[in-house]
Amino acid sequence: MHLSPRHPRYRSLVTRARLAEWSQKGLVVPEGLIAHGRGEAFDYLLGERTTPSARKATRVAAQWLRAARRPVLSVNGNVAALAAPEIARLQHALPSLGVEVNLFHRTPRRAALVARTLHGAGVRTVLGIRPTAKIPGLPSDRAFVDRRGIFVADVCLIPLEDGDRTEALRALGKRVISVDLNPLSRTSEHADLPIVDELVRALHNLSVDLEMRHGTPVPGRFAPFNAPAALRTARATIRYRLQREAAPRSRRAPPRR
Ligand code: PTJ
C-alpha cells in the first residue's frame, strides 16, 4: 500500500504499517497491535508531543541510569519493532546498560527474533535469549530473566510493561523506570519513575541527556523524583485538553505547553 507523506497522519500510518509487517514475521504478537492502539489513543490525548513534565522525568531517568551499578533495559516485541536503533544509541551512550529480551508471550523463536532485530540495529550484547533465572511470585513468562541482567539489576528501565512485573521488580528492591503513555496504568502507578511519553521520543531524549553528560563524574546518589505528582500532571494535561475541546470554539483557551 502506498502511503502519502502529505497525509496528516503519515507518521502514525507508517508506524502502523511497520508493526503490521513485524506482526506477520512474528516479532510483534497480535496483542501488541492492540497495545499500540491504546498507546496511540493516550498519545493523541496528550497532544502527540513530549510534555514538559515527561521531559523532566526523562532527565531524572538519565541521572538514575548513570548512578546505577547495573542498569538494564527490558525489551519486548513491540519495543524491538519500534525502537531498535534508539536502543543501540542508548547503549552506546551508556555502555554499562544491559539490554535484555523479556517477553510476555515467550517462545524461543520470538526471543531469538528480538535479539536478531536488536543486533541488526547495532546493539552489542543482548541478554535473556535463554533465561537463567526466575523472578519469584510472577505467574507469566515475564518471570524468566537473565542471571546477568534483570535478576541482578539495581535499576530497570521497562517500556510497555505490565503492572504485575513492575510490582514484582519493586518487591525485589529494584528501582523501576517505566515508559508508558497511559498515566492510569498499573505500571505507571507502581513505577518509581514513570515516564509518560511515547517510547521512541522517550528513548531519544534519554540518549540526548546521557550524551550531554558524557565524561562528567558519575552521580553518587539517585536524584529524588515525585512520581505521584508527575502522574497527576499527565492526567491534568489530558483533562485540560479535553475540557478545551469540549468548550465552544469562541471560548476556547489557547493550547497550553
Ligand atoms: O512482545 P510481548 O510478548 O512481550 O508482548 C508485548 C505487549 C505490548 C503485547 C505486552 O507487553 C502487553 O500486553 O502490554 P500491555 O499490558 O497492553 O501494556 C502496554 C502499555 O504500553 C499500554 O499501557 C499502552 O498504553 C502503552 N504503550 C503502547 N505503545 C506505546 C506505549 N507507551 C509508550 N509508547 C508506545 N509506543
180 touches 164 (CB < 8 A): no
Q: Residue 111: phi, psi to the nearest 5? A: -60, -40
Q: How far is the CA of 161 from the centre of ligand 1 (A)?
A: 6
Closest residue CA from atom 31 of ligand 1: 39
Question: What are 148-194's pLDDT values in tens digits?
Answer: 999 999 999 999 999 999 999 999 999 999 999 999 999 999 999 99
Atom of ligand 1 nearest to the CA of 28: 1
> Is 240 inside a domain boundary?
no
Tell me how far apart the alpha carbons of residues 1 and 23 are, in angstroms, rounded to a whole number. Answer: 16
> Is 76 inside a domain boundary?
yes
> Is 22 inside a domain boundary?
no
Domain encompassing residue 151: 52-216+224-234
Q: Supply the CATH number for residue 116's domain.
A: 3.40.50.12640
Bridge-based pairing of strands 71-75 and 155-159 is: parallel
Q: How far is the CA of 133 from the centre of ligand 1 (A)?
A: 23
Question: What are 39-84's pLDDT values in tens digits?
Answer: 999 999 999 999 999 999 999 999 999 999 999 999 999 999 999 9
pTM over 0.75: yes
In the chain, how many domains are there? 1
Nine-digit cell at 241?
485538553
Q: How far is the CA of 219 from the centre of ligand 1 (A)?
A: 31
Q: Which residues line ligand 1 (CB under 6 A)?
A: 29, 31-32, 35-36, 38-39, 42, 76-78, 82, 103-105, 160, 162, 179-182, 185, 198-199
> Is 23 inside a domain boundary?
no
Q: How far is the CA of 76 from the centre of ligand 1 (A)?
A: 9
Is the pLDDT assigned to residue 197 strictly greater than 90? yes
More confident: 220 or 6? 220
> Is 165 inside a domain boundary?
yes
The residue assigned the cell 544509541 is 89
Q: How far is the CA of 32 from the centre of ligand 1 (A)?
A: 6
The two counts, helices (H) then strands (E), for the chain are 9, 7
